[in-house]
């Protein structure tokens, strides 16, 4: 069964999600929800899905990435669940395009920490520590933002906001610094 992904403007996307208790996490209801979220994420297709994106304000997200792309430090990440995560950002940032299943059809450049550490619970309630870099670090930051009512559009470079089609058409293969330089407003001198 696939769940409905809510879109920007739905108030649940702007709420701070509440933590799950160990008893809630162990419940058949939450375990079934995790499976439905996995199916929904894969069908979308996406690399992450947070519970608020399906209208449920809980600190729960599913993540899986099967792609690999050297330019974005993207490597396959097996399916896993993060519950009640705490995020620590590394100091170096990188900029790249992001999209979101809840802002369907659009993308923009977002600066994110290149490396992060996350402490969370897994789907069985066991504590996990994740050290991630590159695209995986970006996915974690994006999904954890959802748990605090933040969308990538709150962090984006607004002049890069584009339909996904136009981002692929005009920005594919263009280094981000070059792309950003070309989007700066043109200054005209007074006559």
Residues classed as catalytic? 143
Phi, psi (5° rounding) for residue 47? -110, -5
Task: Give the per-residue SS3 of 49-90.
Answer: EEHHHHCCCECEEEEEECCCEHHHCECCEEEEEEEEEEEEEC
Residue of 150, 63, 54, 73 whose CA lies nearest to 114: 73
Distance of CA 21 to the CA centre of its chain: 23
Residue of 137, 168, 146, 153 whose CA lies nearest to 52: 146
Torsion angle of C-alpha atoms 95, 97, 99, 103, degrees rounded to 10? 90
Tokens standing for 78? Answer: 């097996």
Helix (H) or strand (E) holding 122: none
Phi, psi (5° rounding) for residue 119? -110, 130
């Amino acid at each position: 069964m696939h769940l409905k992904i809510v879109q920007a403007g739905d108030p649940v996307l702007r709420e701070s999600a509440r933590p799950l208790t160990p008893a809630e996490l162990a419940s058949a209801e939450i375990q079934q929800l995790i499976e439905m979220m996995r199916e929904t994420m894969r069908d979308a297709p996406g690399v992450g899905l947070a519970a608020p994106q399906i209208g449920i304000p809980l600190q729960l997200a599913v993540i899986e990435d099967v792609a690999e792309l050297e330019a974005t430090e993207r490597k396959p990440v097996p399916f896993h669940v993060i519950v009640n995560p705490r995020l620590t950002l590394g100091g170096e940032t990188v900029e790249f395009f992001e999209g979101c299943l809840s802002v369907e059809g659009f993308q923009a450049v977002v600066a994110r920490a290149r490396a992060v550490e996350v402490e969370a619970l897994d789907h069985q309630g066991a504590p996990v520590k994740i050290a991630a870099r590159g695209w995986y670090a970006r996915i974690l930051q994006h999904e954890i933002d959802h748990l605090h009512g933040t969308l990538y559009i709150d962090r984006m470079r607004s002049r890069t906001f584009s339909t996904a089609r136009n981002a692929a058409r005009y920005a594919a293969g263009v280094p981000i610094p070059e792309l950003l330089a070309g989007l700066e407003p043109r200054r005209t001198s007074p006559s």
